[in-house]
Structure 1
């Protein structure tokens, strides 16, 4: 085998990764037993509407509820209301919908069950500032965090201590009802606390931790934010809180599952596969350099693996904004990889976000080939300058190598594949 077009094979691998995390496939087996009382379905995230549809299609009894998803990610449901809101910076629609969710949770009993559907993007979509803070304050801190280079875990630590629903507060609002949370993980390590900032799980971090992150990255925040953190008013639900004693979390899809699905496609095409990690973090351009070094060693010296082969990885890199280009972390990784590979023969790559949106563009990612730099130079592009200005989308769009999937209705984080054919 191994005669497949490299770009076609890479795209089929990416599509398989996305398909493996579709709620209709992975969610039904994790549904809880029906309660004695009512079932209330709530949730937030880029996959929450598709998750809600999967619940409706597989739940025989009565239910009601509301979930919040990103604009363009709605899926028709009959009994669960779907509200669209903004991501990655929250808006008034998300604020209002979160208020409606809290209203649904009033007056529950111990016989009732709250089924919470959480996926990546929920931090922005499920938004309710603590008393003393405004939506404008939350928007400002979100923008600053996204541009700072902070890890997703660090960003979510700050968010948890400024929210009236994150850090276990949403589950606390459900008491005394039982809470079961179904999670699609988009974070390195699959820690429920970091998926949508953990609205239904306890939080061992503190306001002091959040303050340290803000200071570490030199983030300028509104005075009201500092007051909440310095006063301790932002402390979230701590371990041992009885309101969350019966809360249960079940992870239904992970980045590792997506990587394994992609690996199966590559193996069927005859390529050995090496999964380098599902939780790789760091600056996107730095990860690109490291991955290029590994790929070059494979291509030139047959170490640590022999070519032909495929190198897969996932996780969530970060981008510290330095320029005014159109970028996302996946295209920044890919452009950095390409610059470091410098046209090495036989090395092809794809990087994309499994939710279909890399950064704020409706573009999932892009592909890279040995001829990418030469084609760019032929168009008058300067790859290193594009990288310096964080203009990955502009670069790959000019080459016609962008990947546009549309809403994928799931989110298991970044997908990176490097195909080394062994051609000299």
Structure 2
């Protein structure tokens, strides 16, 4: 398998991963029974996340025949991720730092589910990004104060479950509060997972599921990362009033939760395609976490093991993984976690400028199409990458130290740009080891 086939192969794997998480495919299989005819029951569709617009469209495609009096709704998604719907309103807001549009939408959603009866159905469409998009600060906390905490969390290197624990305890709608407000209506949540472990309580900070974490946990996270939170935020956490609904809360007794797309599903779809094309897939894990550059060092070691010893599989082999790495910002460069991972992997594989890593290619992308806050999904790398960079006056190690992976791969024209994919099952990484690597 020689160039340019490896790059095209890796892109096909990424496309297969995206297709497996397409809301148009995933939503219909999990739609619940509609309220019985004559019951007077209504369907209220609410939701938040980068896939919320596409999920709402999938609902309309199957339930659009219902009278307007029986089907209404509102979902909020990231700017640029909206999908035109006829019956369900789709609002765009900011991510990853919340804004006023998201706050206004969250307030409207909370109001929509209040006052419903046991014959009504709340269909909640949740996907990654929903935590920032569904932002309704707890009483006594301003949007600006919550924005400050959110920015500090993003810089801190905190894991997604830690971020969302803190977000839940600064919110009036997350951590099960949305479902509690909808009681006694039936609440059915359809979730597209973007978190390691697929925990519904972590996905978008779990607005419709019980929250096992506490105010004390949130305070500990604040202190662990040395986040200088506004006084009102710390006071709110220390007071610990009105805890989030816990497992066994009767207000959540009528709730159903369904995971309709997971990172593992996308990895398995990519693996199936790899087998069809004669390449042995090895799934390393769907929930890999840690500093992006440190994960890259480990992945480089595994790729070398394949090349040198044919373990855990002989070449041609593709190492597949998902999850969510983190980046502790130390520099001033541009780059999301996938660009950071890939630049660190390139440096690790090509130990000296110009030496190259024959036969090893890699792609790392975010399945939502946006790597961090940039306009790319991720990037792709291959043999001789550092030599090309050096010829263009780029210092890979210096750019890695400056967290500038985006600029590095942009200069080489190696960014992967998809635009919003309208889904989100977290990061997708594929490292292809060809027979050429084994022969060196």
* TM-score bin (small chain): over 0.9
- Does residue 341 of the first structure (1) align with residue 380 of the second (2)? no
CA distance in 2, matches of 1:151, 1:234: 25
Of 359, 373, 381, 1:360 maps to: 373
- Does residue 207 of the first structure (1) align with residue 215 of the second (2)? yes
2:46 matched to which residue of 1? 42
Of 237, 240, 254, 1:232 maps to: 240
CA distance in 2, matches of 1:401, 1:235: 47
1:142 matched to which residue of 2? 150
Shift of 1:233: 2.4
1:159 matched to which residue of 2? 167
CA distance in 2, matches of 1:81, 1:214: 36
- CA contact under 8 A between 1:130 and 1:234: conserved in structure 2? no
- CA contact under 8 A between 2:280 and 2:313: conserved in structure 1? no
- Does residue 173 of the first structure (1) align with residue 186 of the second (2)? no
1:304 matched to which residue of 2? 312
Shift of 1:2: 8.2
Of 267, 270, 293, 1:262 maps to: 270
- CA contact under 8 A between 1:274 and 1:309: conserved in structure 2? yes
- CA contact under 8 A between 1:45 and 1:70: conserved in structure 2? yes
- Does residue 7 of the first structure (1) align with residue 13 of the second (2)? no
Shift of 1:305: 2.0
Shift of 1:246: 1.0
2:353 matched to which residue of 1? none
SS of the equivalent of 1:281 reads strand
Deviations 1:49-97 (A, max 9, x none): 0000000001143310000000011101000000000000000000111
CA distance in 1, matches of 2:138, 2:428: 35
Shift of 1:356: 0.4
1:26 matched to which residue of 2? 26
- Does residue 57 of the first structure (1) align with residue 65 of the second (2)? no
Structure 1, unpaired ranges of 5+: none
| TM-score, with length taken from structure 2 | 0.95
Structure 1 residues 3 and 338: CA distance shift in structure 2, 3 A: closer
SS of the equivalent of 1:316 reads strand
2:417 matched to which residue of 1? 404
The equivalences for 1:176-191 within 5 A come to: 176-191=184-199
The equivalences for 1:285-304 within 5 A come to: 285-304=293-312
The equivalences for 1:112-131 within 5 A come to: 112-131=120-139
Q: Which segments of structure 1 move beyond 6 Å, counting only runs of 4 or more?
A: 1-4
Shift of 1:413: 0.2
1:375 matched to which residue of 2? 388
| TM-score, with length taken from structure 1 | 0.98
CA distance in 2, matches of 1:210, 1:415: 29
1:86 matched to which residue of 2? 94
Q: Which stretch shifts more, 160-169 or 257-266?
A: 257-266
- CA contact under 8 A between 2:186 and 2:254: conserved in structure 1? yes
- CA contact under 8 A between 1:128 and 1:163: conserved in structure 2? yes
CA distance in 1, matches of 2:27, 2:274: 25
SS of the equivalent of 2:202 reads helix
Structure 2, unpaired ranges of 5+: 351-355
2:254 matched to which residue of 1? 246
- Does residue 332 of the first structure (1) align with residue 336 of the second (2)? no
Deviations 1:145-197 (A, max 9, x none): 01101100110010010000000000011011010000000000000001000
Alignment RMSD (CA, Å) = 1.1
CA distance in 1, matches of 2:396, 2:308: 23
CA distance in 2, matches of 1:92, 1:220: 23
Q: How many residues align?
A: 424
- CA contact under 8 A between 1:52 and 1:80: conserved in structure 2? yes
Shift of 1:11: 0.6
- CA contact under 8 A between 2:191 and 2:259: conserved in structure 1? yes
2:286 matched to which residue of 1? 278
Shift of 1:269: 1.3
SS of the equivalent of 1:171 reads helix
